[in-house]
A = this chain, B = another copy of it.
Amino acid sequence: MVIDEVKCRENIAAMALRIRRAGLQFRPHFKTHQSLRIGEWFREEGVEAITVSSFAMALYFVRTGWKNITVAIPFSPLEIDAIHAVAANAKLNLVTATVEAVEGLGPLLRYPVSLWIKVDAGYGRAGVPPAEAETIYKILETAARFPHISIAGLLGHAGQSYQARNQKDILKVHENSMAIVKQLRESYSSAIPNLKISMGDTPTCSLATSWPGVDELRPGNFAFYDLQQSQITSCTDAQIAVALACPIIDVRRDRSEVIVHGGSVHFSKDWLKDEEGQLTFGYVAEKKSDGWGSVNRQARMRSLSQEHGILQVPSAELNQYKPGGWVYILPVHSCLAAESMAHYHGLSGKSYDHFKTGYRQ
């Protein structure tokens, strides 16, 4: 996985500026890059609070001095040892949607933690749905029994923004999801006047300009962006900051296909549907002396097996591909490709760490 540091830093700076201007706390999700080194680029933009997706990942960042961390997946009391380890060294914000988890955790805690109550902001995956708002009361009551737990507020994730296909629809998701969460807060405002609201998926954060009533935003993917974000219009192709450099292992003229060493162990297996409805796992990008250029949507990765990828290429372009050469392919979902590769090279050959494998050559 090759990272274009300039593009990545520009993405980070642009999002930091946008959120700072709107007056919100920027708590970027580090599950996308999972890198101490890339984390430093956020720090240079004034970021001090972060989001991660596991306690082990939190500990990785605690090492280099991150002191304010939200683990944005509902915790399990089974993870108590890891919770202790993080909470002993940083301000730890937990997320839950169930009374049972809080009841299980409360008696085990040794250090203070903050608790976000996850609410379903219309995505329909996890979180308390508005129709069961009494669960929020029960969580608040339960949490109040444990002195180590303080309440942060309501946390939502408008993942339905990924179903949108244009800016108008993304902004509609933005409005609706904020309205759901704010209405929930309204119902508790007499009992608990200071509930904060945390939101933030990459599509809405990339396109919205104001978040009235929201306190913090947690986008992650925007640091790299990818073909999926470009397809749903939350970024341009030029903002995509990572690509996979794949060796060409065969050119099949009979089928107008190029076979590359780049499969599901490298890209993972998220797909998009192209304009003709065909499953697509990546597109080739133009190779330039200083990175990659425009995206060639005619050169489509049409299938992935474990180690092989098959590119469907216009026959007139086949001559550009030679066994023994290599090609840039942009990923459909950069978070999963980064997780799969677990390491980065800069355009100038520098090496960047990833949580999963740490520093390596």
Contact = CB atoms under 8 A, between A and B. Distances in A.
A331 interface: no
Contacts of A129: 252, 254
A249 interface: yes
Interface stretch (A163-171, A229-237, A321-329): A321-329
A285 interface: no
A97 B131 CA distance: 60
- Residue among A100, A126, A254, A335 with the highest chain B CB neighbour number at 10 A: A126
Contacts of A159: 305
B254 A306 contact: no
A53 B307 contact: yes
Interface of A: 31, 53-54, 73-79, 97-98, 100-101, 104, 124-127, 129, 131-132, 159, 247-252, 254-255, 259, 261, 264-265, 268-270, 305-308, 310, 322-324, 326, 335-336, 339-340, 342, 356-357
Nearest to A120: B252
A254 B53 contact: no
B250 A126 contact: yes
A249 B125 contact: no
Contact of A248 (B76, B250, B268): B76
Contacts of A324: 76-78, 98, 100-101, 104
Nearest to A132: B254
Contact of A247 (B78, B249, B264): B78
Contact of A126 (B31, B73, B79, B259): B259
B73 A249 contact: yes
A124 B252 CA distance: 10
Contacts of A73: 249, 261, 307-308
Contacts of A251: 98
Nearest to A159: B305
A137 to B, nearest CB: 17
Contacts of A270: 264, 269
Given A73-B249, A249-B101, A254-B131, A326 B126 contact: no
A264 B98 CA distance: 23
Contacts of A97: 249-250
